[in-house]
Structure 1
Amino acid sequence: MTKDDGHNLTRTIDRLKRLIEELEDLADDAKSSQRHAWFPYMAAVLEVYLEMKARGVAKKESKLMCKISGVKNGERLKHSIRRIIAATSKADGKAASKMTLALRYALHEDWDDIVAKLKKHGGIAGCAKKYSKLK
């Protein structure tokens, strides 16, 4: 590893730590009995994922996010979106899985306004169910 590689890795880790903190704050705000409380968090997760994907580093950086956050077996999670959710929220496995499926449905449908579309299509559970039926 060259000196530049080490510097770039340090910068990447610092950037990911900031992203994790921002998403954790949104996830903490979502702890509510309101049905749509998670939607802003989910929109932010999708935005982070799409930015990583555009740079071709979604898999690598989402795994690194899990490592930074101390997620056990984070490398075993199958999708980058699922890893981002695991690294940034305290959602249990079932809830995180449903959020992942709902966001994958949003990607499949190519939605511009994810919050409005999640509301329109039955929320997290409704979108997760619709994505599962696509397989």
Structure 2
Amino acid sequence: MTTFDAETFAFLSSVKDPVLEDGATRIRLLDMMETLEAPHPYGILQWLQMAEFRAFAFDNLRVYCVKTWAGYKTQVHPLWIFLLLGRFIATMLGQEKFECAVGGNRYQCPRPEEEKMELEYRYDEWAYETDDVSIDMPYEYGDLLN
């Protein structure tokens, strides 16, 4: 899986035109496309805290990041940020479609609207299942905490 860190977003920000010729940039973008896997929503919330991602999102994805007392947030669903990112990379490579993995399942994107809703549901379901913090945990394991 591609690690989307500050360096990656700085790199993506530097790509302004479709990369149709062979070269290091195209190879790096192709590698990203082949391993495009949706991160947990917490991962995307971490993206929002990176200045490199905010600049990239505002310029290329038209995603507005707003600073709050708890950090940066956006009104866009984390999955749509991820899909917009995938679409951006595909466009840079001159492709119309791309594949992404959500919770181990591969999907073709973009998809018809009703299937996007299903993809969003699966993403939320997967994120909920992989969320390792339980509100009831202190009560469930109360004896271990004392």
Question: TM-score, normalised to structure 1's length?
Answer: 0.36
Rg larger in structure: 2
The structure that is helix-richer by fraction is 1
Q: Which has the higher strand share?
A: 2
